Copies of this chain bind each other. A is one copy, B any other.
Amino acid sequence: MNNIEGIKLKINKERIQRNILELGDIGLSNKGGVNRSLASQADIDSREWIKKYWQKNVVKKITTDVGANLWGDYPYSSGKKLAPIIVGSHNDSVPEGGKYDGALGVLLATEVTQTLVENKINLRHPLKVISLTGEEPNPYQISTLGSKIISGVVGQDYLKRFNHIETHEALSEAIDRLGGDFKHIDENTLAPNSFAAFLECHIEQGRRLFERNEPVAVVSKITGIYRELIELKGEANHAGTTDLKHRKDALLAMSWINLELRKFLSEFEPCDPVVGTIGFAEVKPNAANIIPGEVRFNIDVRSGNWEKVQQTIKFLDQCFMKLEEKGLMLNREKILNQKPANLNDKIIDALSETVEQNFGYQPQKMTSMAGHDAANLAKIGRSGMLFVKSIDGKSHCKEEYSRIEDIETAGNVLLNAILKLDEELD
């Protein structure tokens, strides 16, 4: 059963496709990747593009908040006493990233709003479209920045410590440069439940939709992330004259941890996964003929099931204890300890029902294994997410791709779920 012909409103497929390509040209390198890191010139340029496009086609009033997030107000809302529905995502990208991660969510929110504008739909709730600041890892070393600020997860004092790893520009200056107002950050967070719903559409960045060949899924939960930075010290020594039994090879020790972690994680059920990664490693002195005396590395562990993350940490504790017994010294620093964020049931239901009624299938409800702005907003109000299929599961690279047919489906689901929520929510 496919009721797509019967749905109230439909987005414009050609227009969203054109906009994806146009915004995707901003920050495009000659290697073919998109480079729109927080506060870079391309970040600024993409903000200008969004503001111009909104001004011309979508909204009447555009504002920039204290965290430099861009807001656009939908003009046809009657219910002045109801809290607004917010829809959007982020405009920044990783280095040499793709055209879809973040941008698609901003452009679909824009497209949905533009379709409502064209049809002069009078909504019960105010509707706000948003483009969030600095969601990706960036040289200022803080991600999901814009949503952290407005949801009050971080405050001025905490943010003062961050600056650009190369230029040393203070994060506060970068925020002001983008149109924010660092001085007044603490007084301008969103009050709990001051919005009726936050909706974000994003590419899945995994293979689950691709393998089941389904266009969209509803996110029920955003993964918990545990991350630590380990300094493992052994003994740098001559790679020829030091016999095997007298070595304290820090890189060999890290290699062992890497394999033990993988073995441990492989035993969890694939339906409720825990993933773990050593993605960053730095060896000292790092010479062919010297046994590594020191390795600094990260371990990143993620799952929607926080209990399983705790089991993994206990297992790592045991592994590190064994290394200490062998005479290696270590220092472990907790970098991230974010519990999974449950998304809002009313939004999950509205999205699921919209898919079922119009596209004739029951969408998967899945845990997002990446962090998202929606997780910060979930701390202070109803927050929900819709995933679009990623071809081959690729993301954070120039090969990142979602088919326009799936994007069209996502846009129509988002549009009609907003209409549904506008009716149902108070």
Q: B-contacting residues of A (Cβ < 8 Å)?
A: 137, 204-207, 223, 225, 227, 236-246, 249, 251-252, 254-256, 258-259, 262, 265-266, 270, 273, 275, 277-283, 286-292, 298, 300, 302, 335, 368-371, 393-397
Are A283 and B281 within 8 A (Cβ)? yes
Q: How far is it, in angstroms, between the C-alpha of A282 and the C-alpha of B335 when the chains are bound?
A: 22
Most buried by B among A243, A288, A298: A288
* Interface pairs (26), CB distance under 8 Å: A204-B241, A206-B242, A207-B246, A223-B240, A227-B288, A237-B397, A238-B369, A240-B275, A241-B393, A243-B275, A244-B275, A246-B393, A251-B278, A255-B256, A255-B258, A255-B259, A256-B259, A277-B291, A279-B283, A279-B288, A279-B291, A279-B292, A280-B286, A281-B281, A281-B283, A290-B396
Count of chain copies: 2
**9 other contacts beyond A243-B275, A290-B396, with CB at 8 A cut-off?**
A137-B287, A204-B241, A205-B240, A206-B241, A237-B394, A238-B396, A241-B368, A244-B262, A278-B292
Are B265 and A370 within 8 A (Cβ)? no
A278 proximity list for chain B (CB < 8 A):
251-252, 255, 292
- From the candidates B207, B223, B286, name the one contacting A243 in the complex (CB within 8 A): B207
A298 proximity list for chain B (CB < 8 A):
288
Are B289 and A279 within 8 A (Cβ)? yes
What 4 A-B pairs come out closest when comparing CB atoms?
A255-B255, A206-B241, A240-B369, A288-B298
- From the candidates B206, B227, B288, B300, name the one contacting A335 in the complex (CB within 8 A): B288
